[in-house]
Chain A
């Protein structure tokens, strides 16, 4: 008795060692397999061995292995025209299994026949002896040869069965050749292109735009920028303050309007980085009396409360010292309206009436309070602020080419962000302030603002000039409040000096700017501002002018200035200015 690990392998020795084991009784004893299982294993062992030999030989051949692997892979052909990778083809697999099975059975049959023939050679006692020894040897050798041939044929048949199974259908045969053998070389140029197109058609993967592109597309398609800054109705962001010298400001707003914008009601609350603020309710009617003329008359009514938390004051006069800095807080309520007429596209006249209620308070700043440093004689209007009634009239002649439709412009509040390259704007305003409470602070103010633009090199260089005069006068016994005096210094006039640096009853400012476009989106400028405040018109003298100069860069289309960055010198020190729109 011997112990074996594998009764199947031992049983297969019936084929390989038939001569040794023939007519021997083998007693099998085991714990793992039942007797019927053991009998089955022993019966199939020779067949399995034969099949293993065949497939083992195939496995050693890498080509056949690839074929076998391919048959077992999901690749398959549908119509012989195109490849359908990663797709199971059950028909192909069934055929492969069938033919391989048939090949295996045939090979096994041949193997059994060979075995029987080999066995038969051992029973040579059935053959004649002595004289037929040579014949017997030849017979045995012939049988063995036939047996070997049969075995080899079985091997070949099994190999062929694999190949035949892979190429059973015409389309599949083509595919097999395509795997092991590329398709036949194209015969025409058109075939090359067609092959490329078919291949591309199999691998089309529509791409999605990236986040930035999707966002910008959404902004454009849904007009989100308009929605955010200038909708017909609803909440939006209001940008800018309609005040001379105001710094960058923004805040929430709400608008109601009909589809045709015949009227627009806006409620807004805006604050600036310089702690200026404005709360306003306004109604605008761009075409007030259409029956008397299309777009001829305009009107607006508003109620606003505004303020500047920290107003610096150095005292009245052109010679105020920068060391005498004080601050005060100013708020005012204005209720008023405007009614005007566009006489021509470039000439309009408007009348205004407003009730103005200013109020001066002590600022929370640590800087010395104006109320402590000054009194009524040095700062008229400091002690008490009356309510004013303010009628006025404005004549506006504007023939700059920055008006639509010639140049693009994005208007955010009334700030002029578009760029004029030629033309001019001449604006004159007469306003009268009537003190309703004290009868001490009534005055009249005349503002003359003349702007001229001279184009050079097709408008890619522009010389811009401005003369701004604010003249006031009072009747006997009246005085102009200091907080309503014209000023010099700030973001737009007297750049280089702090905002409202110089105050007095009269102002004359001259500005010149040389603007040059760098490209379609960026321009630069060199500027000079010069001006003076004075208590009387007669006191204005060129020798008293305060002059500053500087340079800047502006970002906006075609010389426009949606964003302006200036650096000014010559004032109280180098001053960096960030603003919206050109200074003028």
Chain B
């Protein structure tokens, strides 16, 4: 045999072996479940500011449906089906208790403002009147963007901005610092080099510009103007991100946005707070520098259109219920000469104080809620994405909600009460709908002695009632071949704890238990499979599969669930 043929043969064999093992891969790796996605690995050297146009974004998402519209399993979750910390999201209230102080503070530092400001620049974009200014009592001369409330609805937009920021920060998103401040018009000054951009280009910012803004601003009883002061990071502002695709300048951005759990699930948060203006234009990407390396950080910003506010006026009745352009209702209305009436049109006008705008829990359907126009990430939201978000929503207690609403500093106690009550009721709706959208088994552990403990997220938050029981099936699991070897018979328990059958824990580094929750009201719940890995001191919970993609069915499945539209397959 020729020497070269021997060499070649050996290499081919080696190639085949490597190809085989690399293509399949074990189900679990040594570092599973990951708690942090290290998406700051590659130094971002080509970042550039990506600007988006309002109208183009609306037209593109309304008519072209960009992105991958498939309800596949979210691609950035860990093996426990949770979202790891990353430059997109930091687990906060979802994984730990947050004090009221922490909830209310949000992303803010302990900053106090005076009422004497100097205008340095006009505000050239956005719907809300405002300008950029420096607090003369601030030695750091930090520039803030100030925005005002509409005269007919004092505190509406500014309150929504602050409250929305606090909520989204608690969810886990990156937001920007947002403060409430007061401006004394009599002490307002204009910096010599202040400028504004109008139809004729850049020009000096003059008193008339300021007068126009103040003319369209609500006044406080003392004559001052209440504003939001938003901290802008202009030097490292890299523009926006879209709810589909990836940023073409970020090598670390490997997960299509429409398949990121935290973006899909943000539909639930947006529905809760009626953030109908959630879109790419209300996002921000900043460049962060750490130890000589750069990475991009992704933010959700601009909450002036949450709750009952549409920034310059209250929400229209349509918002949250129907897209700006929705074909079927439009045609029905046209050819019926307006006699076709959408269900949301029949809802009564909520009797709310001016500072609230239009916001209530009446007619709120979490599954049917829509933003102003479609986006791929929202369209792709599945039941497991919504379940993840609903668990976070459920962790907000009534007291926490009231505290966050109070941070809006509404002068009318009725506004606080109305807002908080509506948010609480909407939270409960979300719990009812999404905590029962999937088999709600979470937080499973296996003790060294073989005691299994798990939690029913729906039951924990008093949703859905008590199930009849849990059917458990144990098996040994081969991590390399991804196969199960059943051990023992099915065991039905009524409590959220049970012991593994004898023999299942020996002879294998991995075991799994299939938990079928039997609930009369939810016969379509798919069994959940949980995986444990042997460690030096016991068992580590390493994986959770909700079965939405595995074709698992409940033995008792009968009807198509009403959440099938948002479901997995």
- Give the B-binding residues of A (Cβ under 8 A): 57-58, 61-64, 152, 155-156, 159, 163, 180-182, 184-190, 192-194, 196-198, 200-201, 204-207, 212-213, 216-217, 219-223, 226-227, 230-234, 259-262, 294-295, 404-407, 457-461, 514, 516-522, 524, 526, 558
Contact = CB atoms under 8 A, between A and B. Distances in A.
Given A221-B51, A223-B197, A405-B216, A61 B8 contact: yes
Interface stretch (B27-35, B444-452, B455-463, B548-556): B27-35
Nearest to B2: A57
Contacts of A220: 53-55, 125
B31 A259 contact: no
Contacts of B494: none
Contacts of A227: 199-200
A461 B318 CA distance: 13
A59 to B, nearest CB: 10
A152 to B, nearest CB: 8
B21 A187 contact: no
A185 B254 contact: no
A181 B14 contact: yes
B198 interface: yes
B15 A180 contact: yes
Given A63-B8, A194-B38, A232-B198, A188 B151 contact: no
A152 B8 CA distance: 17
A204 B7 contact: no
A188 B78 CA distance: 12
Given A206-B248, A230-B199, A521-B324, A201 B42 contact: yes
A63 B7 contact: yes
Given A223-B197, A524-B338, A406 B4 contact: no
B25 A185 contact: yes
A405 B38 contact: no
Given A196-B254, A521-B325, A458 B25 contact: no
A259 B53 contact: no
A232 to B, nearest CB: 5
Given A207-B248, A458-B345, A514-B338, 15 more contacts: A180-B11, A181-B11, A186-B25, A188-B31, A192-B25, A197-B251, A200-B252, A213-B53, A220-B55, A260-B206, A459-B317, A516-B333, A517-B333, A519-B325, A524-B338
B85 to A, nearest CB: 13
B199 A188 contact: no
Contacts of B15: 180-182
Given A185-B21, A217-B51, A520 B325 contact: yes
B204 A259 contact: yes
B254 A200 contact: yes
Given A156-B3, A181-B14, A185-B25, A405 B345 contact: no
B291 interface: no
Contacts of B251: 197-198, 200-201, 204
29 contacts: A57-B2, A57-B4, A61-B8, A63-B4, A63-B12, A64-B7, A181-B11, A181-B14, A181-B15, A185-B18, A188-B30, A192-B25, A197-B41, A197-B251, A198-B42, A201-B251, A205-B248, A220-B53, A221-B51, A227-B200, A232-B198, A232-B199, A295-B215, A406-B312, A457-B345, A514-B337, A514-B338, A518-B333, A524-B337
B341 interface: yes
Given A64-B8, A181-B15, A516-B338, A194 B29 contact: no
Given A156-B3, A181-B11, A458 B349 contact: yes
Contact of A526 (B41, B152, B216, B337): B337
B330 A518 contact: yes
Contacts of B4: 57-58, 61, 63-64, 159
Contact of A519 (B53, B79, B326, B337): B326
Contact of A460 (B41, B151, B323, B345): B345
A262 B48 CA distance: 41
Contacts of B201: 222
B543 to A, nearest CB: 12
A197 B39 contact: yes
B29 A186 contact: yes
B30 A231 contact: no
Interface string B321-344: 011111001100110011001000
Interface string B396-408: 0000000000000
B334 A524 contact: yes
